[in-house]
Every structure is written in C-alpha cells, then in structure tokens.
Chain A
Amino acid sequence: MRKTEMTAIIACVVLSLTVFIGSTGLGYAVYRPLRYYDIFSLVIAWSGLAFHLWRGRRADRGEEA
C-alpha cells in the first residue's frame, strides 16, 4: 500500500474513532451503544473509500499495462 493511501486510511480511522467516542459517550458520558445511524454512515463511508482505493489502483495498473 502506498504512503498516500495509508495516511488517508489512518486519518479516516481517527475520524471513525472520534465518531465512535462522540456517539457512544465513551469516557465522558453514560455509555450508549453505537447507533444504527452511525453504523450506517460508517459502513457507507468505508465502503466508498474502499471502492475509491480499488478503482485508483486499477487505473494505475491500467496505465502500467
């Protein structure tokens, strides 16, 4: 995996953790399990990012071929 992609993934993991802590109240409010609302948004965001990474890699391979 290239460094640019790795950096983006790490940043998105940090964003996801922020969403998790913010929504659940972990460590600062009464804990509430992650809502379907947040799960839905996280799944869509990560699936979309994975698709972008896959498409980008395929385009790069196409250029090499």
Chain B
Amino acid sequence: MGVAQNKTLYLIITWIRLFFGAHLLFSGGRYILTGYVPEIPGIGGEWAAANAAIGLYQAVKYIEFVFGIMLLTNRFVLLALILEMPATVNIFWLNTFIVGMPRQMFTGPQELFLNGVLLLAYSGYLGAALKPRLEPLWLWNSRRAYKDNYAEQIRSEGGL
C-alpha cells in the first residue's frame, strides 16, 4: 500500500478512534455522574435491569469510561479495544436482534462497526502473536517473544 493511501487511512482510523473514545467516555461518564440508564423495552430491558441488579451494568459503565480515556489519549488502545469487545457484542446483539427497533437497528451495528474496524486496524500486532502452537509464556517474560521464530524457540525451551 502506498504512503499516500496509508496517510488517508491513518487519518480516518484516527477519527474513528477519537469518535469511539468520546462515545465510550460520554456513555460511562454520564452514568457515573448522573446514574442515567436508558429505557429499553421488552425482554432487553429485563436483561439490562438484571445486569444492573448484579452490578454488571455499573461495572461496564465504569470500564467504558476508562477505555474512553485510553482511546482518546492513545494509550493501550489495542488492550482497550480487545476488552471492550464483549460489551460491544452485547450491545450489538441486544440492539439489533432483541430490541430491533429502527434506531437500534442502526446503533447496534454502529457499535460493532466502530470497535470492529478499530480492532482490525490494530490487529497487525495481534497477527504476530496468533500462532497455532504456542507454549505458555508469562507476561513478564514477554521479551522472549520479541524475536524471529519466537514460538519455535520458546517451545524448544519449554515455555514460561
């Protein structure tokens, strides 16, 4: 890919990163400051209420706030995108298939699009780690993975 096309995509991905970051920051921040919970009709609402009853809804909002800051400050972006994905899939499923009202048919896929496109844009780093045969390796030994043929090398050394 040419440098020019790369630059264009870089700017578009930056826009999407900032949009999604602000989106998460607002969503989390609004809950933290005001306790706002959107009214969701039907079984989707019951599911959200059950989540709130066991504290999961609150936890998701607080972590959304943190992930929003991470995306906006461009720090640990890939980590934020990976950890946000379960919440994104929940929102996508709930809005698109369970609530299924016209506007939710947009906001559900929008969430998956934002998180998915960004994850795809940053997935080159993951590609280097996604190998069919990996031995266990502690995070604090990760320097051993910053080498060519690291998987084979670590396997020959017995991992960890």
Taking Cβ atoms with an 8 Å cutoff, the residues of A that contact B are 3-5, 7-9, 11-12, 15, 19, 21-23, 25, 28-29, 32, 36-37, 40-46, 48-49, 52-53
B131 within 8 A of A: no
Are B21 and A44 in contact (CB-based, < 8 A)? yes
Give every chain A residue within 8 A of B30 (Cβ-Cβ).
37
A-B interface contact total, Cβ < 8 Å: 79
* Nearest-Cβ distance from residue B87 to partner chain A, whole angstroms: 16
* Nearest-Cβ distance from residue B8 to partner chain A, whole angstroms: 5
B11 within 8 A of A: yes
B112 within 8 A of A: no
Are A44 and B18 in contact (CB-based, < 8 A)? yes
Give every chain B residue within 8 A of A43 (Cβ-Cβ).
22
Main secondary structure of the interface of A (DSSP, over half): helix
Are A22 and B107 in contact (CB-based, < 8 A)? yes
Number of B residues whose C-beta is below 8 Å from A?
Answer: 26
* Nearest-Cβ distance from residue A38 to partner chain B, whole angstroms: 8
Asked, given contacts A25-B102, A37-B26, whether A49 binds B14 with beta carbons under 8 Å apart, the answer is yes
- Per a CB cutoff under 8 Å, which of B19, B103, B107 touches A44? B19
- Nearest A residue to B14 by beta-carbon distance? A52
CA distance A22 to B103 in the complex (A): 6
CA distance A57 to B117 in the complex (A): 26
Give every chain A residue within 8 A of B103 (Cβ-Cβ).
22-23, 25, 29, 32
- Nearest B residue to A36 by beta-carbon distance? B26
Listed by A's residue number, 13 A-B pairs whose Cβ atoms lie within 8 Å are A9-B11, A28-B102, A29-B101, A36-B26, A41-B19, A41-B20, A41-B22, A41-B23, A44-B18, A44-B21, A45-B22, A48-B14, A53-B11
